[in-house]
Structure 1
Amino acid sequence: MRATRRLWRWRSNPLRRREDIVEAWIILAVWVVVVVGGTVAGVVTAHAAADMLAQQRARRHPVQAVLLADAPPMTAWAAGGQVRESVRWTAPDGTSRTAWTLVDGGQKRGARVVVWQDDRGRLAPQPTSRAMGAVEAGLFGTGAAFLVAAPALGAGAVARARLDRRRMARWDREWELLGRHQGPRTA
């Protein structure tokens, strides 16, 4: 019985108001949504992201390609020292393919470069490593948890602010009634 009273602080308080009980239920509901909903959303999103990244690793393969033209020298604005140039490689079905991709700048025509292709032989970005995939999945999960928690916390804060305004308006009415019975104010 004592534990119940400690957990539910407004249960036997003679000064409790209806707004206090509503506020207690709002706080309880918000925390249930934040803890349970945020956890579920985070775990589901992290697992989905990890599965997607694992599928990418399974479906993308490195292949040797040949540079078809001299790559321009690296420039200050080149992303990671790489420039866009045309390469040729052999697809899984044995056909020769040509496309543009990022290669290290300054390489000569005929140089061998490693490119990544998907199962259909199309160029694809290098897949995320297992370690980086785990980090990314964790970040996606954390983001999903915050996306569930933020609206719940915001709605709870708005509801509590409205309850506070109702309490203050009620106190103002009560003080006004009390003031009429006490006589004129002196200050």
Structure 2
Amino acid sequence: MVGLWRWRRNPLRRGTDVAEGWVALTAVLLFALAAPAAGWLCGDRVDAALRETARLQAEQRHTTSATVVSRTRERPFLAYDTESATEQDTGSRVVATWRAPDGTARTGTVSTPLRAPHAGDTFTIWADGEGRHVRPPMTVEAARAHAVLAGFGLAALTVGVVEGVRRLIVWRLVQRRYERLDRAWAKAGPDWGRTGAGS
């Protein structure tokens, strides 16, 4: 705003100077208003979608008791759990049996919280409606954390896009200034410094 006010009646003002000032002001307004609004809207939409996912998972998944059959030499797969902000599959891996909701027996390799599991030990696992071993349902806190990250990510992306467009416009304005200067110099240059040339 100060720059635009100073250029208001300046005799050295060029059209590109005013345009650059307006572009900067527009970018600042977009940084202050559009980026937070985009981030908030994105976070709100993602939060609503993930809360619905968490609700469906809570309905479709249930806990059941599993019994250790034997230990396995399989190493646990340590990957970031997209459904939980904190839980990771870091326990011992065992071959275990459990019951599906229809009563059929299921067997598989699962992670157990037991420190030294032995055959016959029992522990709790999560299973879906068909009895398959699954991760615990997403928590509301994890959904909120992912929504906040998505909102901040979109806000940062918006800022980056606005700044990129601003720099592109300013670069083009500078190019236009150079083109005008080159034309003016080409017009005055051949007579520059000659006596009686009116320069």
The alignment's TM-score, normalised by the length of structure 2, stands at: 0.67
The offset of 1:78, in angstroms, is 4.7
CA distance in 2, matches of 1:82, 1:114: 14
Where do residues 64-83 of structure 1 align in structure 2 (5 Å cutoff)?
Answer: 64-67=64-67, 69-73=69-73, 75=75, 78-79=77-78, 80-83=90-93
Structure 1 counterpart of 2:52: 55
Relative to 1, partners in 2 of residues 1:65 and 1:8: Cα closer, same or farther, differing over 3 Å?
same
| Unmatched segments (≥5 aa) in structure 1 | none
Amino acid of the structure 2 residue aligned with 1:34: F
Which region of structure 1 is more displaced relative to structure 2, 21-30 or 138-147? 21-30
The one of 21, 39, 42 aligned to 2:39: 42
Relative to 1, partners in 2 of residues 1:11 and 1:83: Cα closer, same or farther, differing over 3 Å?
farther
- The answer as to whether partners of 2:47 and 2:147 remain within 8 angstroms in 1 is yes
CA distance in 1, matches of 2:122, 2:156: 45
Structure 2 counterpart of 1:108: 118
CA distance in 1, matches of 2:172, 2:159: 20
CA distance in 2, matches of 1:113, 1:101: 13
The offset of 1:154, in angstroms, is 1.0
- The answer as to whether partners of 2:69 and 2:94 remain within 8 angstroms in 1 is no
- 1:182 to 2:192 alignment: yes
Q: Secondary structure at the match of 2:69?
A: coil
Structure 1 counterpart of 2:16: 19
Q: Once the two structures are superposed, what CA deviation does each residue of 1:75-102 show, in whole Å capped at 9, x if it has no partner?
A: 4x653244374542343xx544636463
Where do residues 136-147 of structure 1 align in structure 2 (5 Å cutoff)?
Answer: 136-147=146-157
Q: Once the two structures are superposed, what CA deviation does each residue of 1:54-79 show, in whole Å capped at 9, x if it has no partner?
A: 3344332551231463131574x653
CA distance in 2, matches of 1:101, 1:142: 38
Amino acid of the structure 2 residue aligned with 1:66: A
Amino acid of the structure 2 residue aligned with 1:54: R
Q: Secondary structure at the match of 2:98?
A: strand
The one of 16, 23, 33 aligned to 2:30: 33
- The answer as to whether partners of 1:72 and 1:107 remain within 8 angstroms in 2 is no
Relative to 1, partners in 2 of residues 1:118 and 1:33: Cα closer, same or farther, differing over 3 Å?
farther
The offset of 1:122, in angstroms, is 5.3
- 1:163 to 2:173 alignment: yes
The alignment's TM-score, normalised by the length of structure 1, stands at: 0.70
Amino acid of the structure 1 residue aligned with 2:10: N
The one of 147, 153, 164 aligned to 1:154: 164
Structure 2 counterpart of 1:88: 98
Q: Secondary structure at the match of 1:183?
A: coil
Percentage identity across paired residues of the two chains: 22
